[in-house]
Amino acid sequence: MGFKLLSLTPISLSPFPLFTPPLLLSSFSKSTPGAVTSLTIRRCVNNEKEDVLLPGMPKEYYDDEWQAKQRERTKELRQRQREEEEEEERKIEEYREVGMRLKGYPQEDVINARKLVSSFIRAEEEIEQKIEEAAEKGILTELVLMVIWNRLDLARRDNEKDAIRSLDLLYRRVETEILKREATPAMRLLNDLLIMYDGFDYEEWLNKCKKRMIDTFPREDPYSILVPPGFESFDIDKLEGPLSPPLEHDDTLLRVDFVREVDELLQEVRLEQSEVENEPGFDPESVANRLKQQEKQQSIRQVEALLDLAIGLQW
């Protein structure tokens, strides 16, 4: 029984030795990117590669499905971040647009208008008196309305409900006072008559309106036509110079002028109302719009009643 010598077959050596000293391995990893990393160590078992988990790393880190979910989540977060940045840029642009609305007015006038609006906000119970005083001084202008509207617009963008409600009421009140000062005597009388209605006794309101019309309109009998207001004690024997009515009666409102202007107003309002359609649905915005339309219809009926009362007015 003898021993057989194993025959050595030539082996093709790889460019690197099978065992590399640590010093050479360290220098090799630095000079050859991707060859050896500190995150993953791979070994060959049955010609297959198997991941060796590093201490402290979760197993899910090497799960392909988990990795895919994380990439998808990262993509969603980046998309949300882009949307937030775009929304922020849009708000900044809107705020810039709001600030540019007052650029066409003199700076001193803008400062005075802002001070006036701030005084209205701080007035609380005395706000009616403040607005009337400002109207008498002639400082209620379009610029004041623009300042209030800018504040209201900013409050709406920031969703400040209390500020929105207060500024909206302030805007309407100031606008009403400006329109009242700029309105004709007929429209001012119409506004006063509508304000007299308390929402309860309709017949009593009509009686009060009739009395107010009788006190406002000059009498339309032959004597009143020949002798206008201010000449009741006129004596032709004592007349000297031209005959002219007193200055305080220059703005006398005739019933025919009141009827004409109110009728023109009703025609315009009816034309606008015919183009408006009631919005279906029960969401808050639709319900609010329907309530506004009902309020307008009620006001139109009141104006129609006042017009009929003025047409058939008898002294």
The Cα–Cα gap between 258 and 192 comes to 13
Pair of tokens at residue 21: 């000293």
81 secondary structure, DSSP code: H
Pair of tokens at residue 132: 């009337």
Q: Which of 159-163, 217-221, 282-286, 301-305 has the lowest mean pLDDT?
A: 282-286
Q: What is the pLDDT of residues 243-300, one digit of tens each?
A: 555 544 456 788 889 999 999 999 988 887 766 565 666 777 777 777 777 888 888 8
Mean pLDDT computed over 153-180: 87
200 compared with 8, residue with greater pLDDT: 200
pLDDT band of residue 206 (cuts 50, 70, 90) is very high
List, in sequence order, every residue forming a beta bridge with 50; answer none if it has no partner: 43
pTM for this model (two decimals): 0.51
- pLDDT > 70: percent of the chain: 69
User: How high is the mean pLDDT of the chain?
Assistant: 75
Mean pLDDT computed over 122-147: 88
**Sign for the pseudo-dihedral over CA of 279, 282, 288, 292:** positive
Measured CA distances, 155 to 64, 99, 186, 284 (Å)? 49, 14, 37, 19
- pLDDT the model gives residue 241: 57
Q: Are 189 and 258 in contact (CB under 8 A)?
A: yes
Q: Are 131 and 176 in contact (CB under 8 A)?
A: no
DSSP, collapsed to helix, strand or coil, labels residue 221 as coil
Q: Are 147 and 188 in contact (CB under 8 A)?
A: no
